Amino acid sequence: MTERPDSDVLPRSLEVDLDGAGPAVPISAARRRAMTQEILAAARAEAPRPAEAAVSPRGRRRLRAWVLVAAAMLVCAGAMAAVAAWPTRDEPRPESPSAPVELPQPEVTPPADTEDTAPEVTAPEDTSPEVTAPEVTSPEETAPEVTPPRRRSRALQPSPAPTSPEDGLAVANGLRAERRWDAAERAYLAVVGRFPSSEQAYAARLAAADLQLSHTRRPARALASYQAALAARPAGPLAAQARFGIARSLRRLGRTVEERRALEAYLAAHPDDLRASSARARLAELTDGR
C-alpha cells in the first residue's frame, strides 16, 4: 500500500467527523473568516514555488480539489450551525412552573337549626276581585223623583188686590223699597184700577210712571201715565211732576220738538219748581242745537 504524500494529507483543522452529530455550537462569522484564511494559507504552503519547479497538471488538480473541499466544508459547517441553532430561535422556552396559587378556602358554616331557619308559612292572600251582588231595588225606589214645578219669581207674581187704597199704596211702596220694580209697578197700577178717583190712585199713577221711565225702561207707558195723571188733575199738587215727566219721556223717545214745547209749558206753569233749573238747561241745549 503506497503511502500518500504529504501534499495529499488534509490539515487537522479541515477534518470533519462525518459520522458524528456535527458541531453543536454555532460558528461565528469571524471564526469562519479565520478558517478560510487558514485553509488558503495551508494551500499556499503546500503549493510548489514557481521558481522551484513547474506545477504538474496532477498537482494543479489536487490543489483545486483541496480548495473546493475546503469551501464545501466551510459551507457545510455554516449550514449545520444554522440548523443546530434553529430550534433555539423558534421553539419557545418552557416556562418554569409557577408556584401554586393558594385559593382562599370558603368559610363553611354549619347549617343552622331547622327549627329556627324554617320559613314562616302564611296563608296566601286572596287576590281575586271582590264580587258584589247587584243591589235589587224595588220599582218604587228606582222611580225618578218628581220635583214640583219651581215657583215663579216673586217679581212675576200678580200683586194681591188691595182692600183699601191706603193698604194698596203701602204694599206698592214696600215693593219699591225692595227694588222689585216690576212688582211695585203692578201694585201701583192695581191701586189705580181699583180706586181710580182716590187721592192714592193719583199718587200711584205718577209713581208707576216714574218706575216705567227710570227702571223698567218703558218710556211710552211712562208718557201715557204722566199724561193721564195731568189730565185727571191739571192743577193738582203733583202737576209739576207730571209736566216735567212728560218732557223727560219725550226726550227718551227722541221726540225733541215735542220735548221743547213740554219744557216751555212746564217752566211757564212752574217757574219756581225744584226741577226748573234742569228744564232751563235742557231747553238751552235744544235752542242752540237748531
Residue type, 100: P
The count of other CB atoms within 10 Å of the CB of residue 84 is 16
- Tell me the C-alpha distance between 166 and 237, whole Å: 18
pTM over the 0.85 mark: no
Tell me the per-residue pLDDT of 233-262, one tens digit each, with 9 for 90 and over.
Answer: 999 999 999 999 999 999 999 999 999 999
Give one DSSP letter per residue of 214-247, joined into a string. Answer: HTS--HHHHHHHHHHHHHH-TTSTTHHHHHHHHH
Say what angle helices 165-177 and 181-194 make with each other, to 10 degrees.
Answer: 170
- Which segments in the chain show pLDDT lower than 50? 1-11, 13-24, 50-55, 83-84, 87-92, 94, 96-99, 101, 108, 110-124, 126, 128-129, 131, 133-134, 136, 138-144, 146-149, 151-156
